[in-house]
Chains A and B, each alone.
Chain A
Amino acid sequence: MSQAMATMGRPHRKAGVLEDERWFASALLFPTAVLLGLFIAYPFVEGIWLSLTNSRVGVPGHFVGLANFDKVWNDSIFRTAVWNTCWYTFITTVLKLVLGLWLAQLLNRNFKGKAWVRAFVLLPFIIPTVLSTFAWKWMFDPTFSVLNWMLFQLGFITTRINWLGEPGLAFASIVIVNVWRGLPFYAISLLAGLQTISPELQEAAAIDGANGWQRFRHITWPLLLPVTMVVTLFSVIQTFADFQLVYVLTGGGPANATHLFATYAYQIGIGTGLLSEGAAISLAIFPVLFVVVLTQLLYIRRVETR
């Protein structure tokens, strides 16, 4: 601290435009505003405009109002995609949360090799998604599935499981991969939360005769809530807009059973060249996500200010 003071030089009357709180704030926000304005706001507006026209690739088109949204709304595949996306986000989030909490509890104990285990746990989260999904694709492959081999050897199955081929199983497969990938993020972040809870609190409760569940319910969980909300928030946003995983694993098949918003938007916009309709599908995520996120944000704020 003293060193820091020294570099600040002699005390003198503060001057300069940056001393004004508003100007200082503007200056600090400037780089962000430029980058986001240029690379998000402008393309975003263009994207919205696109969704209101009838343009195709290379054909600018003209304004058609909400016709694309109307068309999309009556599209059975779109409805499947909406349903899939919501369901997918819900299931994976619950699974990641429950399993992540469990894993965090385990990691929070003291045991030999703790540091190693914590580092290894993160691996699924850090490997590029496209590449790990290729590995899963290889493991799910109907002809070469090592998972089937294991289940067969263990005596759970007698014929193969058609992982990516049956609509239900294909959906289960993308859920499995998503949970596998996202779990470490939950576990490590929740672990961080757990570490802020002082052991004395737990001990005191234990002395008062609270059992494990009661201690979790009344001490750990309330204290963990803020971090849980933030982690869930980020994860919901990412899961909702998930693209790479499905694109690589199933391409939305079989028969559209695994299409999500993003993959369907991509198929329509890029595969079929109907940019305007693809943009409309992409944008349709927005209100849904917005509501979900807003609720979470408000909730977090409430928790924070409590």
Chain B
Amino acid sequence: MVEGSRWRRWVSFYIPLTAFMVVLLFPFYWMIITSVRPDKELYRPWNAKNYNPFWTWNPTLEHIRMLLEETMFMTWLWNTMLIALASTIISLICGVFAGYALSRLRFRFAGMLGTGIFITYLVPQTLLFIPLADIIRDFHIGDTPWSLILTYPTFLIPFSTWLMMGYFKAIPKELEECARIDGATRWQAMIWIILPVAIPGILSAGIFAFTLSWNEFIYALVFLSSSEQKTVPVGIVSELVRGDVFFWGSLMAGALLGSIPVAVVYSFFVEHYVAGVTGSVKG
């Protein structure tokens, strides 16, 4: 696909692509370097003599050791994974069901409901978290993973519903009609005929949902209090930003290590994700 003469290829392809990659990935390189750089080198002004920001001759594992030994990082990682996974699954189930109902079944108010669900996505979190704290208290789920597993779907369901609606629309009606003629119930037709076809769409909604839950900050900050319950973003910020001293090295190490699980998920699923998004808007 890369066509044209040599220099044209360079100008139109290699150079811009490299530029994109460098800009997108530079912060990550910077985090890596920061997390192995000894404090002494970290505190050097940008215009200092012999300042060499891109390399260090005295790499140290001190920051990573501190992260792993003096904070509950591994617990946070586990919590985040659990919470992200559970809320993703809940949202997918809701989103798939709702998306199916709204796109493939005829009933009154279908359009209105669809818009209604979507609008909930627009309600700002900064408005919601105070009233939500009430509900969390009434259910006695404060400071447990449930407080997040149940609230995250509020911003995950709308878009997964929406994504799935688009995807379901593209699947021909005849598919389940055939099954129903053969005697399948509506439920069976949906589960066994339509869902398998929609798997790429479900995957891409799932990946997106997982990422958003992994990212969330305000709810996790407000609803969790013990250190052993916290998620990665909140844990890192609340324990490594101490007063007027930041633990830059450990902070960056935490940021990196904390994104690995999601990165792994993506590297497995990126092709599916691509396929899923496409499917959902083809119709």
Interface residues of A (CB under 8 A from B): 4-5, 7-12, 14, 16, 18-19, 21-22, 24-26, 28-29, 31-32, 35-36, 38-44, 46-47, 50, 99, 102-103, 106-111, 115, 117-132, 134-136, 138-139, 143-146, 148-149, 152, 160, 180, 183-184, 188-189, 191-193, 195-196, 226-227, 230, 234, 237, 241, 243-244, 261-262, 265-266, 269, 275, 278-279, 282-283, 285-286, 289-290, 293, 297, 304
Contact = CB atoms under 8 A, between A and B. Distances in A.
Contacts of B150: 35, 39
Contacts of A5: 179, 182, 184
Interface stretch (B58-66, B67-75, B102-110): B102-110
A119 B270 contact: yes
B101 interface: yes
A86 to B, nearest CB: 15
A131 B93 contact: no
Contacts of A111: 1-2, 13
A125 to B, nearest CB: 7
Nearest to A106: B17
B282 A196 contact: yes
- What 8 A-B pairs are tightest by C-beta distance, nearest first? A11-B183, A131-B255, A43-B131, A282-B127, A46-B131, A28-B101, A28-B97, A4-B192
Contact of A135 (B27, B134, B215): B27
B127 A279 contact: yes
Given A119-B270, A144-B45, A40 B128 contact: yes
Nearest to B212: A238
A99 B2 CA distance: 19
B233 A146 contact: no
B197 to A, nearest CB: 11
B81 interface: no
B2 A22 contact: no
Nearest to A36: B120
Contacts of B246: 134
A78 B112 CA distance: 33
Contacts of B125: 241, 243, 262
A28 B256 CA distance: 39
Interface of B is mostly: helix
Given A8-B192, A21-B105, A40 B281 contact: no
Given A117-B21, A191-B274, A134 B100 contact: no
27 contacts: A8-B192, A32-B94, A43-B132, A44-B123, A106-B17, A117-B17, A119-B267, A120-B24, A121-B20, A125-B211, A126-B214, A126-B262, A129-B215, A131-B251, A131-B259, A134-B246, A136-B27, A144-B42, A144-B43, A149-B53, A160-B47, A188-B273, A196-B282, A226-B282, A243-B218, A262-B124, A265-B127
A32 B166 contact: no
B24 A282 contact: no
A284 to B, nearest CB: 10
B266 A110 contact: no
Contacts of B252: 134-135, 138
Contacts of A7: 188, 192
